[in-house]
Amino acid sequence: MKPLAPLVVVFACVFGSELRAENVKRDIPYAEPKNERQTLDVYAPDNAKNLPVIFWIHGGGWQVGDKTSVQIKPKAFTDKGFVFVSTNYRFLPKVDMITIVRDVAKSMRWVNDHIAEHGGDPKRVFVMGHSAGAQLAALICTDDRYLKAEGLSLANIKGCVPVDGDTYDVPLMIATSAARRKAKGQPDPKFGHFEKFGSDPVKHKDFSAVNHVAKGKGISPFLLLHVADHVDTTAQAKRLGSVLSEAGISTKVFGAADTNHTKINDNLGQPEDPSTKALYEFLAECLKK
């Protein structure tokens, strides 16, 4: 792993200097009528202009969570010369999974139409998300139907960084969990992955990013961050990474040691955090192209 200092130089060369976060716009609606769960927050450096954008999707099992749960990410990224966007979306079981994905696509449409007003470049958007947000990020960046429905394409996505997701291949996760419960004599959950993704094997496949990867679609480079000793997220990251690589898409899979599902998210942006170093390297490489 390269030390962090040269990476700071790379960002400084791209953007001129490191910038401080000063401007925050909260609760911006991306759909009408205004709904708390269909709003986003924008963090921008002072005097931002034409900067690349981090589009963040929070986790929470598609049932809880909020766009304000961003820890130090806004400052970390705005200091590096990015505009940072954190989005909300509606939850299960009040809406179904396809509605959640469509909410994310609508939020990205707002970014495309308005982020320049906040100093961002709509043609250089990095999509990131943790846990459930990782599944949503991976799907939005591979299944272009959701963006097309909003008049967008994959072309504006500069890179995708799912963080410790366990459902890039939903049928595999369902089968793995079922086998584990059977071996331990545990009952099936009342509202587990099988139900969350529509209680239909066809839907389970359709919500799996691995089933939408193909050459020639314009899929952006991927960095798949995961907890090294988390069996499920490791298997899922390697599974999606393999499918992406086989399709000729630039892909890196990074397993973080000595961490867990919560900490890998909380520590993103910490200078000495290994996942953060891998992320900064990935962003710098993408922005050179």
* Structural contact between residues 105 and 40, judged by C-beta atoms closer than 8 angstroms: no
Interval 49-58: pLDDT, tens: 999 999 999 9
Interval 222-280: pLDDT, tens: 999 999 999 999 999 999 999 999 999 999 999 999 999 999 999 999 999 999 999 99
- Set out the domains of the chain in order of their start, with CATH numbers: 4-288 (3.40.50.1820)
pLDDT in tens, the chain (289 residues): 333 333 433 444 444 334 444 589 999 999 999 999 999 999 999 999 999 999 999 999 999 999 999 999 999 999 999 999 999 999 999 999 999 999 999 999 999 999 999 999 999 999 999 999 999 999 999 999 999 999 999 998 999 999 999 999 999 999 999 999 999 999 999 999 999 999 999 999 999 999 999 999 999 999 999 999 999 999 999 999 999 999 999 999 999 999 999 999 999 999 999 999 999 999 999 999 8
* Structural contact between residues 19 and 76, judged by C-beta atoms closer than 8 angstroms: no
3-state secondary structure 198-257: CCCHHHHHHCCHHHHCCCCCCCCCEEEEEECCCHHHHHHHHHHHHHHHHCCCCEEEEEEC
Interval 187-196: pLDDT, tens: 999 999 999 9
Instruction: Report the pLDDT value the prediction gives residue 19, as an integer from 0 to 100.
Output: 44
